[in-house]
Amino acid sequence: MIAALGTALGWFFYARLGFSDVWVPFIGPIELGWLIVPVFAFVVTAIANAVNISDGLDGLAGGLLAMSYGAFGLIALLQSQFILAGFCFTAIGALLSYLWFNIYPARFFMGDVGSFAYGASLGVIAMLTNSLFLLPIIGILFVIEAGSSLLQIISKRFFGRRIFISAPIHHHLEAIGWPEVKVTMRFWVIGCVAASFGVLLALAGGHV
């Protein structure tokens, strides 16, 4: 479903809006032509699933999403994409309201509907700001979370053993004795640093 949505959006952005290149920091735009469609679909699908995988501890996904949307909101603002920036900041407001009741001990939960929607939207925003290569930096913990699950699956299937006690990695850290709140807070710190670095890289790399 998410892949189909990403493909449809990719075609719309390519055929109707004229998007056909990606910006590489310090290098400039690289023309992809129609290949932007599968790239768009992959980005939306990958980040949507990564956010969903990260939604496993109270406050974890919501806090990381707020930081990521904040970074892309600033990038959009600096690019004079004011409507897109407004959307990002509105999403942050909704996430903060949600986090008020989702931090430990959580009373509200995001679930698949929320995590997939926020993740897919983040992928679209990264493409709209032409910041594809900044997405893995700003959302580094989403990449790590999804990557740890993928490595666990590959290791179990082909080598018959686990790399982590439990995957994704936030469950592994719990398994070795880290309290849930400690994992969430430290991931928030890393996410804040990554988001700030992404904005600085956008400024230095010519995205704004």
Mean of pLDDT values over 182-203:
96
Per the prediction, the chain carries an average pLDDT of: 92
- Give the phi and the psi of residue 184 in degrees, each rounded to 5: -60, -45
Residue 78 exposed, middle or buried by CB count within 10 Å (0-12, 13-18, 19+): middle
Least confident of 4-18, 114-128, 173-187: 4-18
The token duo for 162 is: 């686990």
Per-residue model confidence (pLDDT) at position 46: 93
Domain coordinates of the chain in residue numbers? 2-205
Q: What's the CA gap between 138 and 81, in Å, rounded? A: 19
Mean of pLDDT values over 10-29:
85
With cut-offs at 50, 70 and 90, classify the pLDDT of residue 18: confident
The token duo for 17 is: 């809006």
- Give the phi and the psi of residue 91 in degrees, each rounded to 5: -60, -40
For residue 147, is pLDDT > 80?
A: yes
Amino acid at 190: I
Mean of pLDDT values over 13-27:
85
With cut-offs at 50, 70 and 90, classify the pLDDT of residue 21: confident
Q: Answer yes or no: are the C-beta atoms of 124 and 9 closer than 8 Å.
A: yes
Q: Answer yes or no: are the C-beta atoms of 53 and 60 closer than 8 Å.
A: no
Nearest-CA neighbor of 61 among 10, 121, 116? 116
With cut-offs at 50, 70 and 90, classify the pLDDT of residue 23: confident
Per-residue model confidence (pLDDT) at position 154: 94
Tell me the per-residue pLDDT of 86-144, one tens digit each, with 9 for 90 and over.
Answer: 999 999 999 999 999 998 888 888 888 889 999 999 999 999 999 999 999 999 999 99
- Which single residue is written with the structure tokens 């398994």? 175
Tell me the per-residue pLDDT of 49-85, one tens digit each, with 9 for 90 and over.
Answer: 999 999 989 999 999 999 999 999 999 999 999 999 9
DSSP codes, the chain: -HHHHHHHHHHHHHHTS---EEEETTTEEEE-GGGHHHHHHHHHHHHHHHHHHHTTSTTHHHHHHHHHHHHHHHHHHHTT-HHHHHHHHHHHHHHHHHHHHHSSSPSS--HHHHHHHHHHHHHHHHHHTT-GGGHHHHTHHHHHHHHHHHHHHHHHHHHSS-SSSSSSHHHHHHHTT--HHHHHHHHHHHHHHHHHHHHHHHHHHT--
Q: Answer yes or no: are the C-beta atoms of 46 and 118 closer than 8 Å.
A: no
Per-residue model confidence (pLDDT) at position 207: 65
